[in-house]
Structure 1
């Protein structure tokens, strides 16, 4: 594998920092290549700005158009272009972060806002049909991703009946709306629960789970998201009624089968 490890935690002495070190060591020991984007250490700028696209600040900034034009002409900000080169090189993306207020840290959201620009991560059409290539197709199709997330909550509270909501539902905007949208297949996430109460035994269990998930990543079945362009959706991109599962709405409707339960 050629892995881009995207890391978003401000303290290397944290549980996240220890797991990141263990994960990279595991990859190296088994002959896999990796590059690391440690966003806090890089002091990554998460804010979209006209300067990202060499855009005249006196003109109105239409982000999609400006980003697509800058990508096509080679005028993207160097830090954005560097991250795109890493992702183009990789066949696998590992995203590691703590769950903060039911989502990823702002610095990581800003990485996607700035790096996943039109023309690079989306905005392509099928030359045969003219249909947009997204949700299972697109420029990044053929890659796969694993989300490794720590949470202060107990595992059961991030399950189907937990007060915090099911983890796959919380991660739906990232796993389905960002990664799958651009064609990246997403394997089930790895949850490390009770992060603020980790004991040596709990850490050993988490490290073992991480090593296993990394080494089996190429053969793990991805989450069974529906493809946009294989007949499940009509011309208005609405799911055909006969495919409606139970419950009939929300994230569950966009899986072909029930996703597997959260990893321990």
Structure 2
């Protein structure tokens, strides 16, 4: 496989840096081809601006329309085009980052903001002008794995944990970004208690990462419901006979445990 490894941590000597080294070695030993985007080392600019699209800053900037035009005409800035070329080349994308304030670091969010432009990652249409999204799109067929470290203990990031279940915390990334663009999204790999890991704990985390990477091309993705699979009506609401009387993010995953009951009076 062709694997793009996107790394978003400012310190290469960190636990994240060590895990990346283990991960890349595992992929290389298995014969996979690798490209990297080390965002901090690259000095990646995370801020969308007129220069991304060759736009005159004196004129009003309509980001969606302007980015789509620039993508179609080859007018995107060179750094954006380089990242899009990596994604187009890749069969799988590994996104590695620490969980900061219940989300990804700003530099990684800015990578998505600038690279996943209209016409490339969204706003793509199929036959009859139908928008391709949630399981369809130009990135369909690619696989994605998020490797996430957190200072919190694992129990606090599990079901019923105070911090919230990690897969639900990452729903905007996993479902709203990766699955939206058509990618097959693997369950995230969480390394909890990162600030308190002993040497043996670090070795165990590296072993878990290596094991996940061995099945990068075969593991079952999260069973998110595709938009066009018949589970949603024209109003984009899950049909009443599916998960009746329940709500919450898990209803969009066919294999997730039962979601929270709908509060009284909310039906």
Indicate the TM-score class for this superposition, using the shorter chain for normalisation.
over 0.9
- Counterpart position of 2:242: 243
Q: Is the 8 A contact 1:125 1:132 kept in 2?
A: yes
Normalised by the size of structure 2, how large is the TM-score? Answer: 0.94
* SS, match of residue 139 in structure 1: coil
* SS, match of residue 5 in structure 1: strand
- Counterpart position of 2:60: 60
- Counterpart position of 2:190: 191
TM-superposed CA distance for 1:40, in Å, is 0.1
- Counterpart position of 2:50: 50
* SS, match of residue 205 in structure 1: helix
TM-superposed CA distance for 1:236, in Å, is 1.6
- Counterpart position of 1:92: 92
Q: Is the 8 A contact 1:136 1:180 kept in 2?
A: yes
Q: Deviations over 1:207-249 (max 9, x none)?
A: 1100010011111100010000111111121111111257x22
Measured in 2, the distance between the counterparts of 1:253 and 1:189 equals: 18
TM-superposed CA distance for 1:104, in Å, is 0.1
Normalised by the size of structure 1, how large is the TM-score? Answer: 0.95
- Counterpart position of 1:255: 253
TM-superposed CA distance for 1:105, in Å, is 0.1
The answer as to 2:2 corresponding to 1:6 is no
Q: Deviations over 1:71-93 (max 9, x none)?
A: 00000000000000000000000
Q: How many residues align?
A: 257
Q: Deviations over 1:124-148 (max 9, x none)?
A: 2220x53211000001000010000
Q: Is the 8 A contact 1:116 1:122 kept in 2?
A: yes
* SS, match of residue 17 in structure 2: helix
Measured in 2, the distance between the counterparts of 1:70 and 1:245 equals: 45
Measured in 1, the distance between the counterparts of 2:36 and 2:217 equals: 19
Q: Deviations over 1:5-36 (max 9, x none)?
A: 00000000100000001111111111110000
- Counterpart position of 2:154: 155
The answer as to 2:78 corresponding to 1:78 is yes
1:12-23 counterparts in 2 under 5 A? 12-23=12-23
RMSD of aligned Cα (Å): 1.0
Measured in 2, the distance between the counterparts of 1:99 and 1:235 equals: 35
Q: Is the 8 A contact 1:245 1:253 kept in 2?
A: no
* SS, match of residue 163 in structure 1: coil
Measured in 2, the distance between the counterparts of 1:164 and 1:249 equals: 20
